[in-house]
Amino acid sequence: MPATTEAPAPPRRGLLGGAGRRAVLGVLAVAAFLTIGLPRWLQHDTRPVVSGSAATFAKVCRSHGGTLAVAAGQQRCTVTYGGEKYLMDAVTPNGFDEDTAGFQRQGCDQARRDEPAGSSRVFVFHPDTGVCEHRP
């Protein structure tokens, strides 16, 4: 029997070659940007990481129609509607927080839906202050 000369098998590479690995890394980078970077970029999220001073808080409070108050040693911003004082949660040392105002709006809408039929109680959301007013 004659001896057969077979060429040695080429070395096995991983499941993905160099181009495949680069493609997977590219897809992962795009996925990370779309979930983390793109939403911030579209919102023009340029808020400073470090909070502003008490003067900035006071300026934001007044510019949204609020009055400064101190409660438990902490600065607060309040507004009065119908003789009732309301805390303006959306006014922060970093400026007016649109997300907090949005949650206040949702709460106001929910309170309106939860009010029993025939009730005279009214809930009014004020977008300029981010406050849900409760009228009797």
Say yes or no to pLDDT of 14 above 60: no
**Position 129 confidence tier, pLDDT thresholds 50, 70, 90:** very high
Beta bridge partners of 75: 70
pLDDT digits (tens, 9 = 90+) for 39-81: 665 665 555 444 457 888 889 999 999 999 888 888 899 999 9
Query: Using CB atoms within 10 A of its CB, is residue 87 exposed (0-12), middle (13-18) or buried (19+)?
Result: middle
Say yes or no to pLDDT of 22 above 50: yes
pTM value is: 0.57
Q: What is the mean pLDDT of the chain?
A: 81
**d(C-alpha 120, C-alpha 29), whole Å:** 55
